[in-house]
Amino acid sequence: MGRAMPSLRTISFLAVLAGSVSVVPSGCAHRRPGPAVSSELSLDRVVLYRSGVAYFERRGQVRDGVLRLEVRKDEVDDVLKSLTIVDRASGRAVRASLPLDARDWATGALRALERGNLPSMLAALRGRSVAIRTSRGTVAGRVVLVEQVSRPVAGMDRRKAKGLARDHRVTVFDGRRMHVAYVSEIRSVSLRDRTLALHLDRRLDAAAGEGMFQRLVLEIELAGGPRHDLLVSYVAEAPMWKPTYRVVLPETRKGKALLQGWAVVDNVSGEDWTNVRMSLTAGAPISFRYDLHTPRPVPRPDLTEAGVRHRAAVAIGETTWKEEAEPPAEPPASAPAPARGRAKKTATLEADAYDEEMAIEERIAEGDDAGGLGMRGAGRGGGGRASSGTAQAEVWNAQDLARSLSAKTKATEVAGLTRFDLEDRLTVPAGTATLVALVNAEVDAEEAFLYRPGGSGPGFEQNPYRVVRVRNTTPFALEPGPMSIYAGGSFVGEGITEPVGAGASVTIPFAVEPSIVVESRRKDDGGEMRLVRFVRGVLEVESFARRTTTWTVRRRGADDPARVLVRHEKAGANYDLVDPPDGVERLPDAYLVPVELAKGETRKEVVVVEKTPSRISVSLWDRRAPELLDTFLAKGDLSPAERKALAPIVKLRQEIGRIDTEIEGLRRQVAELDRRAEATRKSLEAIKKDPRAGNLRARLSKRLDDFVRQGDALSRKIVELESRRLEKKIELEDAIRDLVIE
């Protein structure tokens, strides 16, 4: 890598950086944001991430024993959080000085700015000296409290809304008397604390982005002489780099395509990146803001009165006699001081970290050249440009485009992230964006069609996308970004890609194909049950829900074969494909079902069947049990012994089932006879005093006797059947007591 490795003692300096800190504003000449960090050390390396930060390295010599870094105020927290300094000679850093603002910097009054109302801010100024001018006069003193009140409002009808309105009352104390003022009548508030006024002005500057124009000086004192050869690194906020891709389709439907990848790099640091080594890191490293510049006092409980509230109770002394205890044994020899062990462990960890870093650097230095990464313009080995076209129209191809670009980059895996190291140095002026070449390689590609439920947009509800399927055969992980598609020497569409790892495939829709129509119909079936096992009278049953979807693809014109991929959404998390079609691809929440149309074929159907099993336990006395037992007995995988043991059980359960059916029928007849008998009794009761209804009473009495006699006969039959059922049940329970069939 061409840079000296840090020694253990130079790394250990980092623990000293949290020394004293202070703010030294160094004025700015113009109202233009300055560099995030500036120093006499030259910028040598920039690593851009996609998480809103960038890593910077500076190298150079210090001649007076003090390293001075000017840091933009809005970047000071990131620098404090990540600053590392390596003295490549024998010196070491002993103190970092960045004086802080006074305690008032973090006062509640300044935090109240974010709440957006005057009463809250005045309440945060409690104890501060202010002068409040109202429409009635001026009151001055220290703020005591701010409270919400209801008060009459001049000009308001007291009979409507009770003549009251909500307001806030401010109470101030001038040393002898208290004065009040209403917020609705305040015209101005003057802060008598000049320090507070100054920091309030600074806080407003920060809220308005003025931190970009204020600068702080960080001084690091170095031991070991005045001259030092330093490597300084830090992290600062930076825009994410943005990838963009071009794909030139193969001349046939399937073959080799040209993939070109570029990165758009924005330099908003306020400093020219001149002849720097640049790297672009793919992945999602965690990045966050953390305020290390503002002091944060920790609230502590006030225990001043704790001792006053504690009182000792008066107690009467007691005298006791006890034999003298044995003298304590001599303490064992003290163990070695644990500090040594800890110191040794720390040294070991530092050595491990050093060895690991050495190994990483060696792997990076020995890494294979992945195909180069260059750029057009500022570097030494900049990419070429396509020759200008002649007056006669030309159709360029993939080979022409591949020759027009020189991409030199090296891919390295670092802590799970892919880093693209540009082999040529690069210059990016401040306030500009630069297009950097990343990839220029052939990849496997296929042109096809993709249908998603809902179609390809309004007006194309039944039409698929035209897509290109690219397999990333490069050693690079491709970040999400736009992809322009070219074929036949011109632009044919564009899409956007998801993250694609090395060796993975991605499908990019880039146009709509209106000549192909996709339709579907669906049928849901349920209720299929299958007996899995029989254990001591309990049947374990597998129940299935089944969904059948038929996809129909039609097209106009059939001069060429076509491959349509139908994105079939999964019916549910527990559904599985039954006899999946050939070539189906599984996605997390769907399937890609291929429909192949041969040359001359205009219509084709594909059936997708999904089934989900769920297991339930059914008692032998459940009404569904006889049918399930018949199914289980019909299985061809039962052994003769199992079939012989199961056959009488099935027969007994069927007999009990027939008895239950007969008993149920008889009970319905008894219920009907009881209903008729009750109606007849009511009729007899109605005519019992009528002397002319003698013949009718006789017929009704005879009918009632018949109902009672029939009911008694049916009841006796039910009792006989229940007795038979009990005998069969006991016989069946004896048979299944120890029977297990799986």
pLDDT (0 to 100) of residue 404: 57
If one counts every other C-beta atom within 10 angstroms of the C-beta of residue 629, the result is: 21
In what helix (H) or strand (E) does residue 662 lie, and over which residues does it extend? helix 640-687
pLDDT (0 to 100) of residue 383: 38
Beta bridge partners of 85: 232
pLDDT (0 to 100) of residue 669: 92
pLDDT (0 to 100) of residue 579: 83
Same domain, 137 and 106: no
CA distance 310 to 302: 15
Same domain, 186 and 200: no
Same domain, 234 and 246: no
pLDDT (0 to 100) of residue 378: 37
Residue 619: strand, helix, or coil: strand
Same domain, 185 and 201: no
Domain termination residue (choose one: 204, 238, 272): 238
Q: Does the pTM exceed 0.85?
A: no
pLDDT (0 to 100) of residue 667: 92
Q: Assign residue 686 the CATH number of its domain.
A: 1.10.287
In this structure, which amino acid lies at residue 727?
E
Rounded (10°) angle between helices 640-687 and 625-633: 160
Domain termination residue (choose one: 618, 648, 667): 618
Q: Assign residue 159 the CATH number of its domain.
A: 2.30.30.720
Same domain, 523 and 598: yes
Query: CB under 8 Å to 711, separation ≥6 — which residues?
Result: 670, 673, 674, 677
Burial label, 459 (beta-carbon count in 10 A; 0-12, 13-18, 19+): exposed
In this structure, which amino acid lies at residue 585?
E
Q: Let me know: does 193 contact 101? Beta carbons within 8 Å.
A: no
Asked, for residue 523, whether it belongs to a domain, the answer is yes
The encoded tokens of residue 4 equal: 């000296």
Length reported for the chain = 742
Phi, psi torsion values for 586, nearest 5 degrees: -95, 130
Asked, for residue 297, whether it belongs to a domain, the answer is no
Same domain, 525 and 647: no
- What is the gyration radius of the CA atoms in the chain, in angstroms? 44
DSSP result, 211-225? GGT-EEEEEEEEESS
In this structure, which amino acid lies at residue 48?
L
Same domain, 502 and 554: no
CA distance 167 to 149: 5
Asked, for residue 252, whether it belongs to a domain, the answer is yes
DSSP result, 128-160? -EEEEEETTEEEEEEEEEEEEEEEE-TT--TTS
In what helix (H) or strand (E) does residue 710 lie, and over which residues does it extend? helix 694-736
If one counts every other C-beta atom within 10 angstroms of the C-beta of residue 501, the result is: 13
Beta bridge partners of 526: 545
Domain termination residue (choose one: 618, 648, 675): 618
Same domain, 461 and 401: yes
Same domain, 490 and 467: yes
Give me the number of domains the chain comprises. Answer: 5
Query: CB under 8 Å to 449, separation ≥6 — which residues?
Result: 464, 465, 466, 467, 513, 516, 562, 563, 564, 565
DSSP secondary structure code for residue 210 in this structure = G
pLDDT (0 to 100) of residue 298: 77
Asked, for residue 303, whether it belongs to a domain, the answer is no
Asked, for residue 344, whether it belongs to a domain, the answer is no
- Output the CA angle 509-510-512, nearest 5 degrees: 90
Same domain, 252 and 226: no
Same domain, 255 and 363: yes
Same domain, 273 and 422: yes
> Which domain does 204 fall in, by range?
1-111+196-238
The encoded tokens of residue 42 equal: 């030259």
Q: Which of 92, 86, 34, 24 is nearest to 57 (CA)?
A: 86
Asked, for residue 320, whether it belongs to a domain, the answer is no
Average pLDDT, consecutive stretches of 10 residues, N- to C-terminus, the chain (742 residues): 35 28 37 60 90 89 82 79 79 54 45 65 87 92 91 59 76 92 90 78 62 66 79 88 89 84 87 89 78 74 64 50 48 42 35 39 41 36 39 55 62 72 86 85 87 85 88 83 86 86 85 90 75 75 82 86 89 82 85 88 89 77 76 68 79 86 91 91 86 85 89 91 89 79 72
Asked, for residue 345, whether it belongs to a domain, the answer is no
Query: CB under 8 Å to 398, separation ≥6 — which residues?
Result: 248, 250, 257, 258
CA distance 143 to 145: 6
In what helix (H) or strand (E) does residue 59 lie, and over which residues does it extend? strand 53-62
CA distance 23 to 198: 14
Asked, for residue 293, whether it belongs to a domain, the answer is no
Query: CB under 8 Å to 503, separation ≥6 — which residues?
Result: 471, 472, 473
DSSP secondary structure code for residue 458 in this structure = T
